Amino acid sequence: MNRGSHVKRVMTPLVGAAALITLPALGTVPATAQTHAAGTVRLAHLPQQAQADQLTGRLGSQHAGFYVDDTGNLVVNVTSAAAAEQVRATGLQARIVKHGIKPLTAAKTALDRLAGSAGTTGLSWGVDIVKNAVVVSVPKNDDDAATQAFVKRARALGQTVQIRRVPAAPRLHLGPGDAITTGGSRCSVSAIGVVGGSTEYVMTAGHCTNIGATWSAGGQTVGTREISRFPGDDYGTIRSAGQVQLDNAQLTEVGRPATGTQIQKKGSTTGTTSGRLVGYDRTVNYQEGAVRQMIETTACSQPGDSGGSLQAGNIAVGITSGGTTGGCGANFQSFFQPLDEALQAQGATLK
């Protein structure tokens, strides 16, 4: 695992979620979200996206997903002029593409069967709606025989697959410092969940909670590990010990915004960074094992940001897992565990 530099800071006894997930600490902000009964994660209501979901359901194999373009418009990919007319009749924009969602999904499924096999460590892949292809990201300096053999197998799946060279392999973000700590390691907070209206949980990365049971901040105990899932997934929950005040700052909803949406990441190493949501359902092959159904973005993240918050305005989206280390230049990738899955596993809702 890639470890960041040690950071020493003095923190006040009351530490809000904003203080835990950003540098410098900005203090607490009262949450405006209503507490819901445990067991059901209510996703944000996004009317235009719901309309696109219904439309693509009617189009069946003639659609190839939808995304938000650079001007903020929702665009639906289709494979025929007739389908494009159906889309435009609803007031949405249509784009005619070569590959429908079925061949794209089939190619991605075929690659997923090879996850964790020789040649896949350091690689990631998923359906890129904008590129209308399954994009396989390969580190530029990774040219050993096993990787070359895997790339050859991927290319053999046909024109639905594109190979993209990226600066470096994704690594899990973990480093010594502050934010939330266990032993000599530091991670970050994604969001605060609640069960039964009173029992609070810190949501963070599973590869973080795997390494320690008791977590602290500012010299006080945050809580103890309850759920830890990694690899396969990458989420963990920490049951609050009641010593640290926790809140979600401006986050009031949980959701999965459309591909192309502008997003922000908050973490204890790089603070708040912005980028674009590239896509969902990414398979990422870390050295420690493969994880599936991840979110890919272009927002900068580095070691120590693990467990941090992926958000779009007031919508809580994901938990920072990993990404390109050593800088945030061209073709940077960052990966996130969907937050709704982690909340559901704990039987929690957003506080």
Query: What is the structure's pLDDT at 18?
Result: 28
Tokens 């040649």 locate to 119
Active site residues: 207, 234, 306
**pLDDT tens-digit map of 266-276:** 999 999 999 99
**pLDDT tens-digit map of 37-90:** 344 566 666 667 778 778 878 888 899 999 999 998 889 999 999 999 999 999
Task: Give a three-class secondary structure readout of the chain.
Answer: CECCCCCCCCCCCCCCHHHHHCCCCCCCCCCCCCCCCCCCCCECCCHHHHHHHHHHHHHHHHEEEEEECCCCCEEEEECCHHHHHHHHHCCCEEEECCCCHHHHHHHHHHHHCCCCCCCCCCCEEEEECCCCEEEEEEECCCCCHHHHHHHHHHHCCCCCEEEEEECCCEEEECECCCCEEECCEEECCCEEEEECCCEEEEEECHHHHCCCCEEEECCEEEEEEEEEECCECCEEEEEECCCCCCCCCCCCEECCCCECCEEEEEECCCEEEEEEEEEEEEEEEECCEEEEEEEEECCCCCCCCCCCEEEECCEEEEEEEEEECCCCCCCCCEEEEEHHHHHHHHCCEEC
Query: What is the structure's pLDDT at 259?
Result: 96
* pTM confidence score: 0.76
Residue 212 has pLDDT above 60, yes or no: yes
**pLDDT tens-digit map of 142-195:** 999 999 999 999 999 999 999 999 998 887 654 323 479 998 899 999 999 999
Query: What is the structure's pLDDT at 240?
Result: 94
Q: What's the mean pLDDT when you consider all of the chain?
A: 84
Q: Of the ranges 93-97, 268-272, 335-339, which one carries the lowest mean pLDDT score?
A: 268-272
Distance of alpha carbon 231 from its chain centroid, rounded? 14
Query: What is the structure's pLDDT at 184?
Result: 85
